[in-house]
Structure 1
Amino acid sequence: MTVASESTDAYLTDEIRVLVGQKSEWMRAPHPVEGSEVRRFFHATMELHAKYIDDDWAAQSRYRKRVAPIGFPVHAFRRGPLDTDPLERMDDPDFDGVSRSFRPGLPPVPIPLPGILNGGYEYELYSHVHHGEEMLMRSNYASFVEREGRSGRMVFIAIEDEFRTAEGRPLLHSVNTMILR
């Protein structure tokens, strides 16, 4: 857990520094793993396999029942049915559709840079989630790093996510880097 910069910090204030290490509570996915969601995921990743769709094949495998692709949990956490729809603010010229609350349960990051880029993910994979299982996620701000780029100052935010089943079986650990510029 670090807060670092190459020179004088323009954006990494004490208000930002105290966010490092803050963890959310365990958040429950909006619904259990569903076959239609798994189908969309393996179509998008072009990773069709019998373990995702064939009950008979899965019953004879080490999985014992159908599973979702190993990276599925990362994309299963989305806006819940009662959450505010970002399109409600589409007439606001100052709203870009992206919240500075990068994960449910984490406080917003009050850095006034307008652009947000996804800097990628690193994964540590443990186990497949089964169809019908419920998933939990907990997040924390791992680090903030400020750098000078060709187009100006940038802040790199590393967010760690832990995913597990409702019964506590670890599914995966990820680190997502978000870039504000």
Structure 2
Amino acid sequence: MYTDYIGVTSKKMKNVVERELVRRFAESIGDLHPIYLDEEIGSKSRYGKNIAPVTFPRIFRSGEIEGLKLPNKGLIHGEQIYHYNRPLFVGEEVYCYSKLEDYFEKEGSTGKMGFLKMKRYGEDSSGNVIFTEESIIIINETVRRSLNV
């Protein structure tokens, strides 16, 4: 079922790295580094502006892959890795989309588990990749059976 979607991408979604969202996100993760929050510190940094925390893209919308249906519950977050070409700057627009990179199954002690390997991309307005986010979503045997995968 999911193998049919390998290589399929979602449409790009526009996101803005808003100062207030960066502040709230930094507070929520307990990292109040001044490079995220203090405009004077940001202007004196090597970037000349404030940046967002590394995991900030988690809140970005990246569209849905048309036709790819995932269950609302029973999924397990397996892994998440970010790769950056440069930091996210406060105030910039970022265009994000998702791609299903792979689907495979492994036999576990409670039955077969499905593994969805997703990749999200964040680009600037010129189409240059700022970051990628790789994640693994695990579908346990019970959920797999209910989906007839």
TM-score bin (small chain): 0.7 to 0.9
1:39-95, Cα deviation, whole Å (9 max, x unpaired): 121122222222111112211211111221122123232xxxxxxxxxxxxxxxxxx
Runs (4+) of structure 1 moved beyond 4 Å?
Answer: none
- Structure-1 separation of matches of 2:70 and 2:46: 47
**Equivalent residue for 2:60, pick from 37, 54, 76:** 76
Q: How does 1:66-105 map to 2 (within 5 A)?
A: 66-77=50-61, 104-105=63-64
Is 1:64 aligned to residue 23 of structure 2? Answer: no
1:17-44, Cα deviation, whole Å (9 max, x unpaired): 2211111222212xx2222211121122
Q: Give unmatched runs, 5+ long, in structure 2.
A: 141-149
Is 1:138 aligned to residue 102 of structure 2? Answer: no
Change (3 A) 1:65 1:152: same
Change (3 A) 1:111 1:147: farther
TM-score when normalising by structure 1: 0.68
Equivalent pairs counted in the alignment come to: 140
Is 1:16 aligned to residue 7 of structure 2? Answer: no
Task: Give 3-state SS (helix, strand or coil) of 1:63's partner.
Answer: coil
Is 1:126 aligned to residue 85 of structure 2? Answer: yes
Give me the identity figure in percent.
27
- Structure-1 separation of matches of 2:128 and 2:46: 16
| Rg larger for | 1
TM-score when normalising by structure 2: 0.81
Considering fraction of residues, name the structure with more helix. Answer: 2
* Partner in structure 2 of residue 152 of structure 1: 111
Considering fraction of residues, name the structure with more strand. Answer: 2
- Structure-2 separation of matches of 1:150 and 1:109: 27
